[in-house]
Structure 1
């Protein structure tokens, strides 16, 4: 099952980029044997300043056709890491070829795009900067693959 991280904004060189790259590499290495991955990033930017609606159009275009769409949003479902691992496993075992995780810009995800999503996850009720949310998602994907592989990375 291929995973896609569709996000507003590009991670420039710096600590967030280093962390994201590290977790993506770890996820791809661990997930391969489990039928998970690769994880591909799709960064979009609204250079014309059209707001959330314009960002939503760009994000929708970045989502592969037929992919299950999962938004990251403070209104989404909060889960434990083992529950998230089981959800990925469920999607994979259900025959999903592609899953797209969608992270909006500074103003969040347009309600129309959020309403079309198949699932929505939350990293808690606090709002996180979208660049940090991207790193957190990459880490959780690696953690999920580690859990499914029986690795000691996750100590619960």
Structure 2
């Protein structure tokens, strides 16, 4: 069984985000092995664009040849939960790659990271904190797994 990877920038500082990520991580892991790679924020002294670039280099350095990079970006394609589930199911069944979701830091993703991604998805049209994006992504991965396995968590 293929695993799902997530490459994310920044530690979760608030306890409620840490608890929510742990909660959904446990739930997703019931269905699929899940690896979350947490990268350090760029140095505070850097300008915003330089921060995104610095973090982008770190992200690109963590991608493996098996990864199918998927960036989470408000400019990406928005999917319904059922569409997302079908897409994730297709990616997981692909023997040549594994889905690798990427969430940038406070200043988003660099153009280099966006350019390396096979797909760009939006969690919604509004900008949200990278901490909240991590929680929403994991909840949607759990929802997708529940849909794919016929679990009654999702209601249309």
1:13 CA displacement: 5.6
Structure 2: distance between partners of 1:4 and 1:125: 24
Q: Which deviates further from its counterpart, 39-48 or 123-132?
A: 39-48
**Structure 1: gaps (5+ residues):** 32-36
8 Å Cα contact 1:68/1:96 also seen in 2: no
* Aligned equivalent of 2:155: 155
CA deviations 1:73-94 (Å, max 9, x no partner) are 0110100011011001111222
Matched pairs, number: 150
Structure 2: distance between partners of 1:22 and 1:54: 30
SS in 2 for 1:108: coil
The ranges of structure 1 where at least 4 consecutive aligned residues each deviate by more than 4 angstroms after the TM superposition are none
CA deviations 1:47-94 (Å, max 9, x no partner) are 434411110011111222331000000110100011011001111222
- 1:1-156 equivalences under 5 Å are 1-12=2-13, 14-29=15-30, 31=31, 37-48=32-43, 49=46, 50-156=50-156
SS in 1 for 2:75: strand
* Aligned equivalent of 1:34: none
